[in-house]
Structure 1
Amino acid sequence: MNSAVQTTLAVQVARLYYHQGLTTGEIAAELGLSRPKVSRLLSFARESGLVEIRIHDPAVQPQTLAGQLQDLFSGVEVQVVGVPPGSAEDEWLGRVAHAAAATLDTLLRPGMTVGLAWGNTLDAVSHALTPRRLGGLDFVQLNGSANIQELVSGFVTDTLTRFARNYGGRAHLFPVPTFFDDPHTKDMMWRERSVRQVLDLQGRADLLVYSVGSPHAGRPSHVYAAGSLDDHEKAELDQLGVVGDIATVFFRADGSWKGLPINARASGPGLDFVAGHPNTLCVVSGLGKVGVLQAALRGGLMRRLLVDEPTAAELLRRIEEA
């Protein structure tokens, strides 16, 4: 095996092992190698400096999916996660979740405040975290979830507390409705001292972590599947050209969000805040999210994107055909 081929293969193995959490046996099966060969390639990757805190791939070219997306959307750092050929979307989400967990380990520092938008994707990330103690971390819920179904299931609180326990930090829940019936009720609630404390913590967040929500995902985003929106509200969103949301705040296909009545009732942070934040991580997986991801990129609603390979490829295909 010549040195160029060995280097390329070692990088591929290192990504699967360190970023996606596969065992040497799983990597061997996926790449058609023996387990001793995988071990030797991992050793080579470490000894030759390909692996430090992060994986450095000297063969990365501008024409990779990540490079193409970064060329199209300047200012967005993109990481594309490879998946096994022919694998199901649940497998893609698992790979992306492990990669997101590894990325968080490089971003988090003691004393940081992290804003988390709950949902299926971040719940998957919370299960992929590797225990690590960091002093003084605060994890604050970005959007409300107070309804009977959520209180019974514990879905949102479990996600937040799982992040906090993993890093030895504190979870700050946001016990308000996902959507208020009347924007005036929200205005009144926002004046309450206990609510203001959470809102102030959100406003001081050093990092925002979220996905994009879509009713068309293989697993419809939690806000659409959990009864937070009735049929009339869903029809109204369709009529207004809404394609999805971030932290239950909605936007259109062109990435705009101004003038949408439901956002005045939403408990999530304003998208001006998200778009203007200097440190954000958006985690996306699944072909059903391609449209809403494209809209979010058009709207400048992320600084850092982590996405699976098939979804990234489909996004580029749609852009090229437009």
Structure 2
Amino acid sequence: MHDDSALYQAAELYFVQGMTMGAVAERFDVSRSTVSRMLAEAKERGIVTMTLRMPDNRSDRLSRRIHDLFGVTAHIAGTRRGARSAQRLEAVSRYAANLLTEWVTDGCIVGVAWGTTTSTVASHLRHKDVQDVTVVQLNGAAGPHSTGVGTSTPVLSTMARAFNAELYPFPTPAFFDLEQTRSLLWQESSVRRILAMRVAAQMAVFSVGAFRGPVLSQVYLEGHLSDAALRNLNENRVVGDMCTVFIREDGSYADIDLNRKASGPTPSELARIPRRMCVVAGYHKVRGILGALRSGAVTDLVIDDLTAGEVIDHLENGGRPHSGARA
């Protein structure tokens, strides 16, 4: 047994001054094993206490900030400084694919909105041996110049294969010419079956489409909207879409005329699904991301660190967080 004074001196030399155990042993004229026992004894008596602190990196801070503002879980994919939009998209898509592989379990119903981002997510999925999984298409894809098969089928089929899932496609237009046509079609038994699957989904995977920028939503690239419709959306301060439903930066959407002709679920309908993964990347989507977060449609945001920082910067430079959905 050593007295507290000797234990303190040995601990101070070793832990504070950084002396080696051999040097401390020479100072006390004892063996190194004796010094080791002295240090252990100093810990037992409370002379030495240890504190561990997790490193606080930028991604952690951004994730906490987004959660504090919007109540969602932010999964931050790291990128290198100055990464281009395509590189950001790759980073978040890989991250999202890994999360999906973890989250999808036996009996899960997964709703998927087709698009550039979800297609990239699907390309990174690994096969998982699960049973009785269902993949259901959330929004129609047919347009004035195509059937939509080439747009929606690849992403949905790839996801279905990854999870041995049964696929339920949604063979309707992305946008109807007439609201009445949509209302009538929604009464057909074959369509009601898909709508029921949407309601029963435990998970939804979607992104936020953007009008402008280096990686545009397929909604805008494939001729689904006329020039007049695009002008109308601009006049209505629309900043993007989720599942072909258009949103403003404040999260509102219900009074946008074109949404009554859209095939996808509204933010309030999405909000009934327990887990809603929104996968986004790119500075051009910042305002759309804020609209999605404010609409209440997102539980899990998969985003790269650069875009997450740009979302926070936009808020601090004039945008204001809004809690709860605004229809």
Provide TM-score, normalisation by structure 2.
0.78
Given that 1:139 and 1:164 are in contact with CA atoms closer than 8 Å, whether structure 2 keeps it comes out as yes
Matched, 1:168 2:159: no
- Give the deviation of 1:171 after TM superposition: 1.4
Q: CA separation in 2, counterparts of 1:152 and 1:272? A: 25
Q: CA separation in 2, counterparts of 1:206 and 1:179? A: 25
1:71 corresponds to which residue? 68
**Aligned residue runs from structure 1 range 9-28, under 5 A:** none
2:217 corresponds to which residue? 221
- Give the deviation of 1:151 after TM superposition: 3.5
Q: CA separation in 2, counterparts of 1:111 and 1:92? A: 32
- Give the deviation of 1:279 after TM superposition: 1.2
- Give the deviation of 1:277 after TM superposition: 3.0
Structure 1 residues 266-322: Cα deviation after superposition (integer angstroms, max 9, x where no partner): 000122111343311110011110110012112222011010111001111111111
Given that 2:267 and 2:296 are in contact with CA atoms closer than 8 Å, whether structure 1 keeps it comes out as no
Q: Flag the 1:196–1:152 CA change in 2: closer, same or farther, 3 A.
A: closer
Structure 1 residues 32-87: Cα deviation after superposition (integer angstroms, max 9, x where no partner): xxxxxxxxxxxxxxxxxxxxxxxxx943469611111111112x001111112232
Structure 1 residues 181-206: Cα deviation after superposition (integer angstroms, max 9, x where no partner): 11100011111111111111111001
Given that 2:143 and 2:223 are in contact with CA atoms closer than 8 Å, whether structure 1 keeps it comes out as no
- Give the deviation of 1:147 after TM superposition: 3.1
- Give the deviation of 1:150 after TM superposition: 4.5
Q: Flag the 1:150–1:158 CA change in 2: closer, same or farther, 3 A.
A: farther
2:21 corresponds to which residue? none
Matched, 1:300 2:296: yes
Structure 1 residues 215-248: Cα deviation after superposition (integer angstroms, max 9, x where no partner): 1232110101110000000001111111111100
Q: CA separation in 1, counterparts of 2:296 and 2:246? A: 14
Highest Rg: 1 or 2?
Answer: 2
Secondary structure at the residue paired with 1:151?
coil
Q: Flag the 1:245–1:111 CA change in 2: closer, same or farther, 3 A.
A: same
Q: Flag the 1:65–1:152 CA change in 2: closer, same or farther, 3 A.
A: closer
**Aligned residue runs from structure 1 range 143-158, under 5 A:** 143-147=139-143, 149-151=145-147, 154-158=150-154
**Aligned residue runs from structure 1 range 1-322, under 5 A:** 58-60=54-56, 64-74=61-71, 76-147=72-143, 149-151=145-147, 154-322=150-318
Structure 1 residues 130-182: Cα deviation after superposition (integer angstroms, max 9, x where no partner): 11121011000000012365437712101100000111111111000010111
Secondary structure at the residue paired with 2:271?
helix
- Matching residue's letter, 2:174: T
Alignment RMSD: 1.7
Q: CA separation in 2, counterparts of 1:152 and 1:244? A: 20
- Matching residue's letter, 1:225: L
Q: Flag the 1:172–1:134 CA change in 2: closer, same or farther, 3 A.
A: same
Runs (5+) with no aligned partner, structure 2: 1-52, 319-327
- Matching residue's letter, 1:108: V
Q: Flag the 1:239–1:287 CA change in 2: closer, same or farther, 3 A.
A: same
Aligned residues: 265
Q: Which runs of 4+ in 1 moved over 2 A?
A: 57-63, 147-153, 275-278
- Matching residue's letter, 1:69: I
Equivalent pairs: percent with the same residue?
A: 34
Q: CA separation in 2, counterparts of 1:281 and 1:150? A: 28
Q: CA separation in 2, counterparts of 1:80 and 1:153? A: 32
Runs (5+) with no aligned partner, structure 1: 1-56
Q: CA separation in 1, counterparts of 2:80 and 2:247? A: 32
Q: Flag the 1:189–1:300 CA change in 2: closer, same or farther, 3 A.
A: same
Secondary structure at the residue paired with 1:154?
helix
Provide TM-score, normalisation by structure 1.
0.79
